[in-house]
Amino acid sequence: MEQRRVLKTKLIFTFLVVFNASITCTFASDTVSTNQTIRYNETIVSPQETFELGFFRAGKSMNFYVGIWYKKIPNRTVVWVANRNTPLKHTSGELTLTLQGVLIIRDVTKGYIVCSSANSSTTSVKNPIGQLLDTGNFIIYNEGEGINQEDPIWQSFDFMTDTLLPGMKFGWNLVKGIDRNFTSWKSDTNPASGEFTYKIDTRGYPQLILTEGGVIKVRGGPWDGLRFTGISYLKPNPYYNFTFVVNQREIYYQYNLIDTSVLTRLVLVPSGRLERLLWIDNKQEWSLYNSPQRDDCDQYAVCGPFGSCNIDNSPVCSCLKGFEPVSPDQWRDTDWSQGCRHTIPLDCNPGEGFNIYSNLKLPDTRGSWYNQNMTLLECEKMCKSNCSCTAYTTLNISGTGSGCLLWFGALNDIKRFAEEGDTLYIRVSASEIDSIKNRRSSNAGRRIRVIVPVSFVALAILVSLCLFYRSYMKKQQHQGTPEHEREHDPENKSDDEDLELPLLGLSTLVTATNNFSVDNKLGEGGFGPVYKGVLEDGQEIAVKRLAQTSTQGLHEFKNEVISISKLQHRNLVKLLGCCIERAEKMLIYEYMPNKGLDSFIFDRTQSKLLDWPARYRVIIGIARGLLYLHQDSRLRIIHRDLKVSNILLDTDMNPKISDFGMARSFGGNQIEANTNRVVGTYGYMAPEYAGDGTFSIKTDVYSFGVLVLEIVCGEKNRGFTHKEHGNNLIGHAWGLHKEGTSLELVAKCLGESIDAPQVLRSIHVGLLCVQRHPEDRPTMTSVIHMLGGEGPLPSPKEPGFYVGESTQRFYEGSYEASSTNELSVTTLNGR
Ligand SMILES: *[C@@H]1O[C@H](CO)[C@@H](O)[C@H](O)[C@H]1NC(C)=O
Ligand SMILES: *[C@@H]1O[C@H](CO)[C@@H](O)[C@H](O)[C@H]1NC(C)=O
Ligand SMILES: *[C@@H]1O[C@H](CO)[C@@H](O)[C@H](O)[C@H]1NC(C)=O
Ligand SMILES: *[C@@H]1O[C@H](CO)[C@@H](O)[C@H](O)[C@H]1NC(C)=O
Ligand SMILES: *[C@@H]1O[C@H](CO)[C@@H](O)[C@H](O)[C@H]1NC(C)=O
Ligand SMILES: *[C@@H]1O[C@H](CO)[C@@H](O)[C@H](O)[C@H]1NC(C)=O
Ligand SMILES: *[C@@H]1O[C@H](CO)[C@@H](O)[C@H](O)[C@H]1NC(C)=O
Ligand SMILES: *[C@@H]1O[C@H](CO)[C@@H](O)[C@H](O)[C@H]1NC(C)=O
Ligand SMILES: *[C@@H]1O[C@H](CO)[C@@H](O)[C@H](O)[C@H]1NC(C)=O
């Protein structure tokens, strides 16, 4: 039965091919639609005739490939190869696009699939079309929807071969788990994957590395805000500009043409050299513009740990100031592999400090830790407080400098430049500290001592104000809202009966928040900033000002306000009022003096205030609040942006879920929905939501699981790094759970306060919540039962998003696998 269906499809298929071929032999088009077939000698050409896609033969071999090359360059320069490791052996191949948006290279004589692009799991496919753009990108998108370069069905730019073209993103799409790296050809005439790969390594702060068979050969190093620390030649130039982006969704390097008539490419040649080439039209040849591999100091870690390489010296290696060779004899014989060590060994004495070293290529950042928001002073403090921290520096030197980068253990692959280069602060013993630096450190210490008492006074004031404020609000609700404040809004009259909330006037809130001054800003929630306000008689409120660009209409806003105002639960932040006036929409919440849970569990000092029993109460409280949203409230509410900073603590450290700006209510029995706009916070987003935009109560359960692990561990899921693996906190927790050593996860500051069975149970439940498949995750009802109960728990399955993972890749099918063939052909028949 199955066989017959396959056969029938093949016949139709052959017929189509013949039919097509009889009409046209070369496509002048830049597109491939689902009913077209590209065969040997046929190509498609980008609109401005910059690039051409088709079959080509590599050298004199009988290997044939599908690739993209420059149309106008006579000596064919291939920039992309689809089937580099699975060549066709003759000219009877054909390229087709299936109705499912899958690109297939098929050997017609043998009937098998040589290579196919995986379908996308994020975009639903409808009338797919493939188009070759003038950037050299072959992109598959839904014809009716136009080109969406951010999230196409598939694009060749996500699967680079050995060439980085302008506009390509080199690096990571963290949401889809795509690692875009490039690998050399085996030889000039063999596109098969060679030994050399250039990639962005994310084991620590992202850095460029060139590997040979997996071993680092050359390190471009981390981006310092202006350039890659190890690539001194990468400077502003007339041909291209460049940028490096690190955020929660992406980490990538990209260069773009300033003058679009220039042809340039960055290619990893078979010998392992990275070359930036420019096309010289009047000579009709590619010329080498530059290459990061310039001298002996570019070999990875040539001078060993704590050694520094300077090409102007002879020999090139020396120990950093305050360091000496580990093995003086070998060092003299120019065997630098053992490197250097501190002249006076470190012993974690509190007198230890840091010396400044300038004009350096920053050391290997594998295993490093970073934070984009800390100041240099905070960075120093953090490094000093951890004895295994050996060095620190500013993460981003552009502007006034920001962020913090810490190294632990040996510092490898340092190079010294004659000029420019970066600054590094390296830990040394007390007697080695340069005197100028010494003075600055002691000043820093004094400043910090002053801050502590002030914050206590402030806390006391806030607590009393809050108590005062509660009684005010009762009074306020009793009195209702003054008439004159309502008349500004012509639209609200008919809805007034529905709004059980006081409406506050814009002018009242402008005064209360000091005209929404920056100083009053408490933070940025979903859909807008939140300000602290003080009403005329001294009462404090939190005002959330919805961004004017928010697409939410007035009607929807009112609906949301009405539904939220009806939510009453001790673990939810209470909505006190709202303001709808002109283009402004604002929500007024009770003010929580203790701020977010994040300011407790992620802060070294504050975290001590939350011992295990308090944390357990927080976990249970959040679970109850969430259960109320999911089940017990009249509407089924999905929060969609549950995270530590959205959990506020009241004066008794009771958790209250806040920020419903992204929440969606579901009517009746609706269980799942889909959104075109994924909102939320990376690190807390369930895979099905980050990927497909599908959300359900289980999306919140996933975020709850992440929260539990973060509360237990005192570390952020995102930003968590571990020396031995690249997993995030979830992956780390899962690994420890499997080994039965989950208690290692517990935050150090919890010390004696932990109740081991309760901690283990919490971690276990947390892992059940972060399971990859929503159907495996428990509901909040069972979560509460499991947390409080004592019975055995089910074993968690693999979590979602515990490490970069691929959801979309160009894979190469095997020759023999007839099942692959059947599968795809059957799919073709399906329509
Ligand atoms: C083939 O594609 C062309 C262009 O997209 C379209 O005009 C034509 O109707 C299609 N033919 C079939 C049989 O689908
Ligand atoms: C491709 O074109 C060349 C020259 O026009 C011709 O000799 C050759 O037979 C063609 N090959 C195929 C497979 O059509
Ligand atoms: C064309 O390429 C071949 C092989 O790569 C090379 O030997 C030849 O010099 C090139 N010709 C020109 C004009 O660049
Ligand atoms: C991708 O392919 C798999 C297996 O063929 C299928 O189950 C899935 O629905 C496809 N996804 C899309 C978006 O077409
Ligand atoms: C390059 O990226 C591919 C696809 O994401 C991945 O499978 C491969 O492991 C990466 N190569 C290296 C050396 O990391
Ligand atoms: C690079 O130049 C292009 C074209 O002038 C411009 O559109 C782009 O914004 C520039 N990018 C950066 C990072 O400066
Ligand atoms: C860092 O600051 C930026 C903007 O200043 C903010 O969006 C981001 O959430 C902050 N990150 C952390 C980890 O606090
Ligand atoms: C110091 O930092 C390392 C690496 O991040 C970490 O494993 C260790 O627990 C830290 N030690 C202290 C005392 O914080
Ligand atoms: C570095 O800082 C500058 C100026 O503050 C900012 O524009 C840029 O985005 C930052 N770069 C990175 C990679 O964070």
Lowest mean pLDDT among 11-20, 189-198, 270-279: 11-20
When pLDDT is cut at 50, 70 and 90, the band that residue 680 belongs to is low
Q: Is 189 in the pocket of ligand 3 (CB under 6 A)?
A: no
Residue 790 has pLDDT above 70, yes or no: yes
Q: Is 408 in the pocket of ligand 8 (CB under 6 A)?
A: yes
* The two three-digit tokens of residue 231, written as one number: 């690539």
Q: What is the pLDDT of residue 795?
A: 92
Kindly name the residue from 107, 298, 413, 641 that is annotated as catalytic.
641
When pLDDT is cut at 50, 70 and 90, the band that residue 762 belongs to is very high
User: Tens of pLDDT along 792-810?
Assistant: 899 999 898 766 332 222 2
Q: Is 285 in the pocket of ligand 3 (CB under 6 A)?
A: yes
- Residue 830: CB atoms within 10 A of its CB come to 11
Beta bridge partners of 223: 228
Determine the residue of 176, 197, 202, 208 to mutate for testing ligand 5's pocket, defined as the one with the most ligand atoms within 8 A of the Cβ atom.
197
CATH superfamily of domain region 595-788: Transferase(Phosphotransferase) domain 1 (1.10.510.10)
Q: What is the pLDDT of residue 556?
A: 62
- Full DSSP string of 336-400: -TT-EEESS-----TT-EEEEEEEEEPPP-BT-EEESS--HHHHHHHHHTSTTEEEEEEEE-STT
The number of the ligand 8 atom at minimal distance from the alpha carbon of 721 is: 5
> Are the C-beta atoms of residues 758 and 822 closer than 8 Å to each other?
no
Provide mean pLDDT across the span 206-227: 94
Give the CA angle between residues 374, 376, 381 to the nearest 5°.
85
Residue 449 has pLDDT above 60, yes or no: no
Helices (H), 223-359: 328-332
Q: Which residues contact 668 (CB under 8 A, 6 or more apart)?
A: none
Lowest mean pLDDT among 112-126, 506-520, 649-663: 112-126
Nearest protein Cα to ligand 5, atom 2: 179
Tell me the residue type at 670: Q
User: Tens of pLDDT along 494-509?
Assistant: 334 344 567 788 888 8
Buried b (16+ CB within 10 A) or exposed e, 84-113: bebbbeeeebbbbbbebbbbbbbbbeeebb
Provide mean pLDDT across the span 611-618: 92
The average confidence (pLDDT) of the chain is 79
Q: Is 370 in the pocket of ligand 8 (CB under 6 A)?
A: no
What's the gap in Å between 157 CA and the centre of ligand 6? Answer: 19
Determine the residue of 18, 37, 41 to mutate for testing ligand 2's pocket, defined as the one with the most ligand atoms within 8 A of the Cβ atom.
41
- Residue 471: CB atoms within 10 A of its CB come to 10
- Residue 759: CB atoms within 10 A of its CB come to 19
Q: What is the pLDDT of residue 665?
A: 59
Nearest protein Cα to ligand 6, atom 2: 258
Higher-scoring residue by pLDDT: 697, 454:
697
What's the farthest any 2 CA atoms get from each other in the chain? 91
* The two three-digit tokens of residue 591, written as one number: 């003010």
In this prediction, what percent of the chain has a pLDDT beyond 70? 78
Higher-scoring residue by pLDDT: 363, 573:
363
Helices (H), 695-779: 697-713, 729-739, 756-769
The number of the ligand 5 atom at minimal distance from the alpha carbon of 211 is: 13
Strand order from edge to edge, sheet including 138-142:
31-33, 128-132, 138-142, 154-155
Give the ligand at the shortest distance from the Cα of 809. Answer: 5
- d(Cα 748, Cα 758) in Å, to the nearest integer? 16
Q: What is the pLDDT of residue 811?
A: 24
The number of the ligand 5 atom at minimal distance from the alpha carbon of 159 is: 4
User: Tens of pLDDT along 253-281?
Assistant: 999 999 888 899 999 999 999 999 999 98
Is 641 an active-site residue? Answer: yes
Selection from 117-121, 573-577, 698-702 with the highest mean pLDDT: 698-702
Lowest mean pLDDT among 432-446, 578-592, 766-780: 432-446
Give the ligand at the shortest distance from the Cα of 223. Answer: 9
Determine the residue of 246, 373, 378 to mutate for testing ligand 7's pocket, defined as the one with the most ligand atoms within 8 A of the Cβ atom.
373
Give the ligand at the shortest distance from the Cα of 277. Answer: 3
Tell me the residue type at 241: N
Q: What is the pLDDT of residue 671?
A: 55
HSE value, Cβ hemisphere, 13 Å, CA-based, for 348: 5
User: Tens of pLDDT along 527-582?
Assistant: 678 899 988 877 788 888 877 665 556 666 766 676 677 777 889 888 888 887 77
Give the CA angle between residues 433, 438, 441 to the nearest 5°.
125
Residue 123 has pLDDT above 80, yes or no: no
Q: Is 181 in the pocket of ligand 5 (CB under 6 A)?
A: yes
Q: Is 405 in the pocket of ligand 9 (CB under 6 A)?
A: no
- Residue 647: CB atoms within 10 A of its CB come to 26
Q: What is the pLDDT of residue 431?
A: 86
Give the ligand at the shortest distance from the Cα of 73. Answer: 3
- d(Cα 733, Cα 768) in Å, to the nearest integer? 12
When pLDDT is cut at 50, 70 and 90, the band that residue 342 belongs to is very high
Give the start-to-end residue ranges of the domains of the chain: 297-445+454-498, 595-788
